[in-house]
Structure 1
Amino acid sequence: MNLVSIPANPAPSDTSVGSIETPDGVTLRYARFAPPPGRRGTVCLFQGRAEFIEKYFEVARDLRDRGFAVATIDFRGQGLSARAVRDSRKGHARRFSDYLIDLETFVKEVVLPDCPPPFFALGHGMGATVLIESAARGHRWFDRMVLASPMIGLAHQPLFGAAAPVARTLRLLGLGRLTVPGGSGRVAAFQPFADNPLTSDPIRHARTAAVIEAEPALAVAAPTVAWADAAYRTMAAMQRPHYAARLRQPMLLVAGGRDEIVSAEAIERFGTHLRAGSHLVIPGAMHDLLMEQDQIRKLFWAAFDAFVPGTPLYG
């Protein structure tokens, strides 16, 4: 497997890419970015729904500038990892525990044998949710985790309204592989900048679209009914009383004040119950915190530097 490198988004130097197979037979693509001199450990990077390794080249450079090696993976069903349905643009998963299989396989086969410790995690959106679920099940792969826009609740859908029971009913009727009602095959990165719900930075928005244009196999559009049902049930579990309080994993949750995808309020509520973590909201930031304008990214990285041991403080 290779990485897609274009002039607007070149692959970082000292990169290795390969594939691993999960115990349930799914092929996953991974990449490792070598540590700079005076290494401080490894940050494992976990993307959100419909994202891919190439979208985070700039983030990998930011982390290497901080002294870290970087390791990352395409979750099943996205990037250049194996897709489970014939229409590869459908974002499909049978259950969220499948992503935990991806995480554990990646840690055991790539991170532990080949990456310098100590280990930290940086997750976005769905990837952040997978990290929380892993911690809730007692795994302590990482010393600390920084979670950007974790999918704990959806914006503008208090308690999910009718969407969750509709998804559950359609799933029970055997329609799990259908696109969610109202969804389409249109890729979010191709939305006009003025209408996009992800970032207020036009250059980074265009860069993501350019990468997908260079390699259309990276594209993922709307999720399936099965994915939505799994996501709603996972979020409902995370919002139960005492879920957050039982976690012992040190974590920092960062939300965007203008996020139209996930609920900043749900992230704040979750964060107030953490015993070994904290949370903050960045005013004016949209969902893709790491793809935002420079002034917003600086605030995110300042929080990261203050939370993750060993990082230098940047002005």
Structure 2
Amino acid sequence: MIRPLVETASNPLPPGTRVETLNLADGKELRYGITPASTHPVQGTVLILQGRNECIEKYFETARDIATRGFTVATFDWRGQGASSRLLRDPARGYVKSFDQYAADLEQLFESVLLPDCRGPYYILAHSTGALVALLAAPALSNRVRRMVLTAPLLDITGSRARKIAARIAANTLRSTGLGKTYMLGGAHSIKAFEVNEVTSDAVRYLRNVDVLEQAPELAIGGPTASWIVAAAAAIKKVSRPDFIDAIRIPMLIIAAGMDSVVSTPAIERYALQLRNTTLLTIDGSKHEILQEQDFYREQFFAAFDAFIPGTGGESL
């Protein structure tokens, strides 16, 4: 059964948006949404890949913004979060065995939804965890995706080297002893007050997202499990190998947040320098969720987006 999209007064549904379910090969289900272009001619399709603990509803505003630029917009809830199939008896636990499962789900979405139903050319806009999956899938997508825009990709977390090593050892130990479903960071989902949140300086957008989760708390998940942490670390290690980097051919725009306290901006900048055909932009002052930030920061994002994505403002930065 499809979980209907949650619309609120502050977060209206983009015009014409429909929601469907994709049945995956392993019996799980993905909830996906399609928003039609609101201007013509249609320039192609932008696929939004969400971050951890996000859902379709969080991207209503961004979908409208992109649809007005002449693109169809597609997005979906990753397995284990949003209204897609949860993977554990306790649905609140952020869990996955391997990020290869995310990449396989992305491949099936292309095969079953985008290629038959959405007009090309195809572009990817991916945030944080979604951006890591985009990098992981990039070699296989080189003949399908024209360009990718990655915001605050998860390539390392903030914090001291000692803290990160300790967390990695603890996660590996828990997973290897059969306790991979144990929470590593945090616990069941709880909503932080705006004043202590780490992801945006925009109170209106933050409270808009809180309103959605207050109306539909089942869309949220809690902290990541040991298994999720190990899987993320393995994916980061894989995409950082020189041979893997050399296999990435899709032109990319990578946008980092200058005030990011979730993922490491220096790690993003170092990674971008290793890629061919890649432009790096750091938005000074922005927190982690650039697309949920104040207009001042979002406008910088869309200026770069419009200059990079063909059909909106030019062929390249």
Q: Which bracket does the TM-score occupy, shorter chain normalised?
A: over 0.9
Contact 2:37 2:69 in 1 (8 A): no
Rate the CA distance shift 1:212–1:138 in 2: closer, same or farther, 3 A. closer
In 1, the alpha carbon distance for the partners of 2:246 and 2:259 equals 27
For residues 1-315 of structure 1, the aligned pairs below 5 Å read 1=2, 2-36=4-38, 37-137=40-140, 139-158=142-161, 160-180=164-184, 182-187=185-190, 190-312=191-313
Contact 1:185 1:221 in 2 (8 A): yes
**Could you tell me the TM-score, scaled by structure 1's length?**
0.95
Classify the secondary structure of the residue corresponding to 2:253.
strand
Classify the secondary structure of the residue corresponding to 2:145.
coil
Classify the secondary structure of the residue corresponding to 1:207.
helix
Classify the secondary structure of the residue corresponding to 2:113.
helix
Q: Which moved more, 1:242-251 or 1:49-58?
A: 242-251
In 2, the alpha carbon distance for the partners of 1:25 and 1:94 equals 16
Contact 1:129 1:152 in 2 (8 A): yes
Contact 1:244 1:271 in 2 (8 A): no
RMSD of aligned Cα (Å): 1.5
Give the total of aligned pairs.
310
Classify the secondary structure of the residue corresponding to 1:252.
strand
**Could you tell me the TM-score, scaled by structure 2's length?**
0.94
* Residue ranges of structure 2 left out of the alignment (5+ in a row): none
In 1, the alpha carbon distance for the partners of 2:243 and 2:120 equals 31
Report the CA distance between 1:35 and its aligned residue: 1.7
Rate the CA distance shift 1:49–1:157 in 2: closer, same or farther, 3 A. farther
Contact 2:153 2:268 in 1 (8 A): yes
In 1, the alpha carbon distance for the partners of 2:243 and 2:194 equals 40
Classify the secondary structure of the residue corresponding to 1:29.
strand
Q: Deviations over 1:86-120 (max 9, x none)?
A: 21111111111010111011111111111111110
In 2, the alpha carbon distance for the partners of 1:23 and 1:208 equals 32
In 1, the alpha carbon distance for the partners of 2:166 and 2:105 equals 30
